[in-house]
Amino acid sequence: MINNIGKISRRALLASMTAAGLLLAGSGSAYAAEDITLGLVSPLSEPGDARSGDAIKKTADLWVKLINGAGGIGGRQVKLAVFDDQGKVEVGASAMERAITEANASAILGIWSSSVALAQMEVAKGYNVPLMAFYSWSDDITAKNYPQVFRIGPYNSQIAAQMVPFVKDRGYKKVVVLAEDTAYGLGFAKAFEEAVKAAPDVTVEVVQFQAQTQDLTAVMSKVAASKPDAVIVQTVFSATNLSIKQGREVGLKADIITGWDWPLLPDFWSTVGEAGVGVVYPTFSDPSLNITATGKTFVDAYKAAYGHEPAIFQYYLWDNFNAVKAAIEKSGSSEPAKLVETLPGVTFEGTIGPVFFRNEAGTVNFHQWDKFAMFFKKLNKVGDGEKEAELVQVAK
């Protein structure tokens, strides 16, 4: 076994020397035509949310294809270095470091879960490389005010604040927040408890459950017995469907307001059936949204490539990529440090309107784009999709 150790280290040594050699060769020969590498660190396998990871990867691939087809950025081709974070914080952090040190990524995109993002922020800070968040909702991501971290997408306290008027207008007095025991579930629950203080006559109870559960009947029985007016479900798709189905099974009569775009996933109706009727879901997407020319290009290309419409978070991701592109064009460099400097000042046409970052130091609105509207939609019959759903309220 002594020999084996020797082999490993020798191999490691050789590998690192070869890598260094290649880099030198690369930088020496053709600097102008050097490719731009963007790191994509996403949950591509379990226990991560591999489904969303797949959608992220599709979006990224499409963007790279379109950009390169149009001649790249400033004549330089773009390539992706894809890494799997498995939904684990430590894997995400080390994957990001590899994207930076091995692949020389100019910026890191594609992060999904807030917990992974929070760990990656330390890496971004350490290496001074931009980290682009889009659908990771933890306030901390921008509230920590790391100069390297940017977000084009919503965050918990803002979402929660926009939820409060809706709760008031609908006349709910007693609300249960059903939250999975993850950053996603509990992060929102906390933010909502905070935000709802603005409406003193609404009582809120947070019911926490294990994210990987397969049986929510007991939890839903308890929720049903407390006879709330509304249940806000904050969990990912499988438990979303379970909570609706099993909630109705145990006689839950309250309105169910469920997580974001989960009801639009193809397995929603086939799993919840009749129980899904009457469910309200908040979303950032609505046909009334003003899709820009950039957005149309994206949607058309996406439909052509994959045969279905992209979800709203993919719009934000598209904007993330375009933000990096804008920064490279503006600074004329793909150096990460240059991008960190340039990004706060970029403006460009996003998919649903102009994008620019708010840069209010000391607040959550630092390197944060927040021009999104929240739509509350109701599913009135089995099989309703985005187009059929009834728009019951808009929060801007």
Partner 1 sequence: MTQLFVQSLLLGLLQGGLYALLAVGLSLVFGILRVVNFAHGEFAMLGSFAAVFVVDMLGLPVWTGLIAAAVAGAAIAYATNILVLRPIYLSRMRQKGEYTIIATFLLSQFLIAAATLSFGTTYRKLPGLWDQNLAIFDYIYLSGNRIVAFVAAIAMIALLFFIVYRTDIGRAWRALTQNPLGAAVVGIDVNRYANLAFLASGAFAGLAAALLAPLMFVFPASGVIALVKAFIVVIIGGLGSIRGTLFAGLLLGVVEVMCTVYIDTGYTDAYGFALMIAVLLFRPQGLFGRTGRAV
Partner 2 sequence: MTKLTHHLVPLLFVAAGLGLSLIGLRPVVADLLILSVYYLLLAGSWNLLAGFAGQYSFAHIGLATAGAYGTAALVIAGGLSGWATLVIMPLAVALLGGGLGLVALRVRGVQLPLITFAFAGAFAVFLAAASDITNGSMGLQLPKLVPGFDRSLYLVLGGILAGLFFIVQNWMIDGKLGLLMQAIRDNEDIAHGMGVGIFRVKIAAFMITAAIAGLAGSFYANYVGVLAPSMLSMGEMGYVVAMAVIGGLGYRYGPLIGVVIIRSIEYFVRGFGAEYTLVIITGIALLVVLFFREGVIAYVSRLMPRQTARWRS
Query: What is 144-156 written as a DSSP string?
Result: T--TTEEEES--H
Query: What gap in Å lies between CA 175 and CA 40, rounded to an integer?
Result: 38
Are the C-beta atoms of residues 40 and 80 closer than 8 Å to each other? yes
Smallest gap from residue 242 Cβ to partner 2 (A): 17
Query: What gap in Å lies between CA 309 and CA 95, rounded to an integer?
Result: 29
Query: What gap in Å lies between CA 134 and CA 109, rounded to an integer?
Result: 9
Given partner 2, partner 1, none, residue 214, with its beta carbon under 5 to 8 Å by kind, binds: partner 1
Smallest gap from residue 192 Cβ to partner 2 (A): 16
Smallest gap from residue 144 Cβ to partner 2 (A): 11
The helix (H) or strand (E) run that includes residue 253 is: none
Q: Which of 122, 97, 51 is nearest to 314 (CA)?
A: 51
Q: Which of 334, 332, 289 is nearest to 309 (CA)?
A: 289
Smallest gap from residue 50 Cβ to partner 2 (A): 9
Query: What gap in Å lies between CA 36 and CA 6, rounded to an integer?
Result: 36
Query: What gap in Å lies between CA 184 and CA 390, rounded to an integer?
Result: 26
Given partner 1, partner 2, none, residue 25, with its beta carbon under 5 to 8 Å by kind, binds: none
Given partner 1, partner 2, none, residue 87, with its beta carbon under 5 to 8 Å by kind, binds: partner 2
**What is the contact surface with partner 1 in residues (CB under 8 A)?**
45-46, 50-51, 181, 207-210, 212-215, 217-219, 221-222, 224-225, 237-238, 241-242, 246, 248-251, 267, 270-271, 273, 275
**What is the contact surface with partner 2 in residues (CB under 8 A)?**
1-2, 4-5, 8-9, 12-13, 15-16, 19, 44-47, 84, 86-90, 93-94, 97-98, 101-102, 114-116, 118-119, 122-123, 126-127, 138, 181-183, 186-187, 208, 210-211
8-state DSSP, 395 = E
Given partner 2, partner 1, none, residue 219, with its beta carbon under 5 to 8 Å by kind, binds: partner 1
Residue with Cβ nearer partner 2 (86 or 322): 86
Smallest gap from residue 209 Cβ to partner 1 (A): 5
